[in-house]
Amino acid sequence: MKAFAIAIPSSKVSMAGFEELKESYDKYGHEEGIELFEAIDVYKVDGYSSGNGLEWNYPWEGSQIDIATGLTKTAYPTADKRKRISCFLGHWYLWQKCKSLNEMILILEHDARFIKKLPSDRTFRNCEFDIIGINDPSMATRKSKDYHDAILSKTDFFQPVPIIDEVHIPQGLAGNSAYVIKPEGAERMLDLSQRYGMWPNDALMCRQLVPNLGVTRNFYTRIQGLRSTTTL
């Protein structure tokens, strides 16, 4: 399957992470290389958002109940709002890519690295889930130990995103640094973006809004622990 990694060409941290990601991907003998997807320039996010009919609809401070979904939206630490929006748009454009290609793709962020080889495309294609997280939760999400242990407590190779919070808290992947997405999943995410607006992508991509959201019991990537290019 085609693999795309979101990175920021003007950031030394981001590009160093991208190079590490590529090396780790090649190390495990994946046949297709990773294509760089340049993150949206922070100075252009307003134009890209309005040009695609998208509007940010998530609090920058505190928490609020989303009337449309009933979910609690809690602000993410963000020094520069444009960076958070740019991060969302990078994923949004790759969802569009998945839809236009009409084939399953792998979406990565620059801070992921591979720790083992992915199974065959057919394995992912034949599973019931439309979006599948492949990342080790360790240090990648809140309540990461609970998330990790919940996955390993089950024996299924593919399984639903675990429930580690109250039902009104968005239950997403362990960060969105590495996931496989099918055209059906991309269609779902694009529809949610139009219906509910832009949220941090790992909040909008949650099991309450995406029923066919799953994870693998085996972890194929792990975050590198780079300095954040979104929160700072």
Q: State the DSSP string of 171-194.
A: -B-S-SSEEEE-HHHHHHHHHHHH
Alpha helices per DSSP H over the chain: 12-27, 45-51, 81-101, 121-125, 144-152, 183-196, 201-204
pLDDT of residue 231: 57
30 part of a folded domain = yes
Q: Write out the DSSP string of 47-58.
A: HHHHHTT--B-S
230 part of a folded domain = no
Closest CA to 163 of 215, 219, 128, 88: 215
232 part of a folded domain = no
| Predicted confidence band of residue 144 (pLDDT cuts 50, 70, 90) | confident
24 part of a folded domain = yes
| Pairwise pLDDT comparison (205 vs 230), residue with the higher score | 205
Single-letter amino acid code for the residue at 229: T
26 part of a folded domain = yes
The average pLDDT across 160-175 equals 92
Mean pLDDT score across all residues of the chain: 94
CATH code where residue 79 lies: 3.90.550
Task: Indicate whether this model's pTM tops 0.75.
Answer: yes
Domain assignment of residue 6, given as a range: 2-223
229 part of a folded domain = no
Residue 232 has pLDDT above 70, yes or no: no
CA atoms of 186 and 191, how far apart (whole Å): 9
231 part of a folded domain = no
Closest CA to 93 of 177, 8, 33, 6: 6
pLDDT 10s digits, 184-215 = 999 999 999 999 999 999 999 999 999 999 99
Domains held by the chain: number:
1
| Predicted confidence band of residue 141 (pLDDT cuts 50, 70, 90) | confident
pLDDT of residue 31: 82
> Which residue in this structure is represented by tokens 């992912």?
124
pLDDT of residue 228: 79
pLDDT 10s digits, 119-136 = 999 999 999 999 999 999
Residue 7 has pLDDT above 80, yes or no: yes
